[in-house]
Amino acid sequence: MPSNTVSSAPATLSPNAVTFQILSTVALTFICYLIVGLPMAVLPGYVHVDLGYSSFIAGIAISVQYVATLLTRPQAGRLADSIGAKRSVLYGLTGCGISGVFLFLASLAQSMQGLSLLFLLCSRLALGLGESLVGTGAIMWGIGRIGSGHTTRMISWNGIANYGALAVGAPLGVALEHYFGLLSIGILIVLLALGGFLWAWVKQAVPAVHGERMGFRQVFSYVMPYGAGLALGTVGFGIIATFVTLYYASHQWSNAALALSLFGLSFVAARLLFAQSIHRHGGFRVAIAAFTVETFGLLLLWWAPGPAVAMLGAAISGLGFSMVFPSLGTEAVCHVAPANRGAALGTFTVFLDVALAVVGPLAGLVVGGYGYDAIFLVGAAAALIGVLLTLVLYRNDLRRNSR
- Tell me, yes or no, if the two domains 15-202 and 216-402 fold the same way: yes
Q: What is the pLDDT of residue 160?
A: 87
The stretches in the chain having pLDDT less than 70 are 1-12, 55, 208-213
- Per-residue pLDDT tens over the stretch 217-238: 888 899 999 999 999 999 998 8
Distance separating alpha carbons of residues 132 and 69, to the nearest angstrom: 5
State pTM to two decimals: 0.79
Amino acid at site 386: G
Buried b (16+ CB within 10 A) or exposed e, 222-245: bbebbbbbbbbbbbbbbbbbbbbe
Q: What is the pLDDT of residue 208?
A: 65
Question: Measured in whole angstroms, how far is the alpha carbon of residue 351 from the centre of its chain?
Answer: 11
CB 138 within 8 A of CB 28: yes
Helices (H), 216-255: 216-250
Whole-number Cα distances in Å, 6 to 9, 277, 343: 9, 31, 21
Domain residue ranges of the chain, discontinuous segments joined by +? 15-202, 216-402
Superfamily covering domain 15-202: MFS general substrate transporter like domains (1.20.1250.20)
Residue 176's contacts (CB-CB under 8 Å, 6 or more residues apart) are 38, 184, 185, 188
Which candidate, 268, 381, 382, places its Cα nearest to that of 326?
268
Structure letter (DSSP) for residue 11: P
Fold (topology level) of 216-402: Growth Hormone; Chain: A; (1.20.1250)
- H or E segment at 305? none
- Burial label for 80, CB within 10 Å (0-12, 13-18, 19+), is buried
